[in-house]
Structure 1
Amino acid sequence: MRVSAAERAMNYVVLVLFAVFALTPILTILLTSFSPQIGADAADGGFWNLHPENFVEAWQVGGFGRSLANSLVVAAIVVSAAVVLSVLSGYAFGTMRFPGATLLFYVFLLGLMIPAEAVVIPLFFDLRAMGLTDTYAAIALPQIAQSVAFGTFWLRAQFRTLPEELLEAAALDGAGPVRTLLRIVVPASVPAVTTLIVLAFMWTWNEFLIALVMTPGGSLRTAPLGLANFQGQYTAELALLSAGAVIVALPMVIMFLVLQRHFIRGMLEGAVK
């Protein structure tokens, strides 16, 4: 179908409007993070009247070093465990036929249907009875369960699109299920697995409620909790609050930029399916 010049121009106009709508809040926070603090001399600053010292002060006062380290540890645990379990379960549901597979798959989907808010309090008492509160396990285990539910659904759809002839050829060559998974299925599904990694990392990094409830002692405060605590101290100081928000969001932005090619490819493939 041939697209006229007017239609192409209208498409670009719509895309530009959506881009402006999406980028305006981000640019506003970024510019505010470099603005002078309340009571500071606006003439003081560096190049173009910017104040990068806001980030240094926010880092030191907010203690973001410890909270970012806690978030990185939790994210590493959740993402690695969720991706491995999702690959295994998605491989089983997507390529194998066994009794009760459909029913068991719907049980997995319950993790997508039940919100965390509905189970977080009973889960807290269960973990406290096991002595796991105020530990990385208390923060990571509920998020692993949530991510595996989505990961199983996501990778099952991906693995079911693989040609059956490919799997049959691997079986004829003497490859077992594990070797077929590692040598054929996973390499052919890198975009989908990468998309799961990015989404699981984003959800884990932004999780607030589970980290708040499961660590009542506050010793394992994650980045969102650190930002909330910092906001309570500097509610009126928008420059420092914006600097803290940029610090907390920066690792997630870096990860997306590094993996964006595979992430976008995986999302496009999922849309086609």
Structure 2
Amino acid sequence: MAVEDCFLTGGLSTAATALACTERVRVGIGLLPVPLRNVALTAMEVATLHRLFPDRPVIGVGHGVQSWMGQVGARVASPVGLLGEYLDALRALLAGERVSARGRYVQLDDVALDQPPAEAPKIFAGARGPRSIELCGAHADGTLLDSIVDPAGVRAARALIEAGRAAAGRSDEHHVVAALLAATGPDAAARVAAERTPEHAAGAGVAGDAHAVADAVLALAEAGADSVVLAPTADADPEQFIRFVADEVRPLVG
């Protein structure tokens, strides 16, 4: 998964590189902070990725870390309001619609993509707070939950998402992705503990062997996650972690 955390790497350029270097791998972007990107520009970039690599990019947007948005002069008074307007406009543009919008934040005047994707891609949104999670149910096609959640958090998020979907009259599929901070090896517990924050739920994160990690994945799935993204600790060797997950964890979760 490509990231666009300030001030690290560009999510779209990183995703494009990964897609160009592979043939079958799906590459997710989590998340593009919407205050930084005009919605028409995001639609153009996403449409280009889907034309070049059909069905493989998975796009996620979010309202961004507010302190970072403040650093670049992009912080808005209502991040939740912006995200809702943005999702509606982005999904419509990628569906090939001609869009005019006069929102508080998103303003478009008769805008349409010249080359929209052949099929409108699903747009995910990331959220932590209850209002944002419910908004994802109403306005997004899927929700990304980060590594602060445990199974109880996933169940609570599912309830909020369904409330948002019901309020918006949506009955289409909604895919929930949960992230799981994970480490293996003799110092695994200390490495996970070092990256936990006060926002992490008591049961969030896992340290241990393949069976321990697989059990944590299955617990999130049983709580309502359709997909679980394993997030290594910052000091992990990426190649070794991927081999551990592919060779030892995946066979245990089916």
The TM-score by the shorter chain falls in which range? under 0.3
- Tell me: higher relative CO, structure 1 or 2? Use CA pairs within 8 A at least 6 residues apart: 1
Q: Which has the larger radius of gyration?
A: 1
The structure with the greater share of residues assigned to helix is 1
TM norm structure 2: 0.24
TM norm structure 1: 0.23
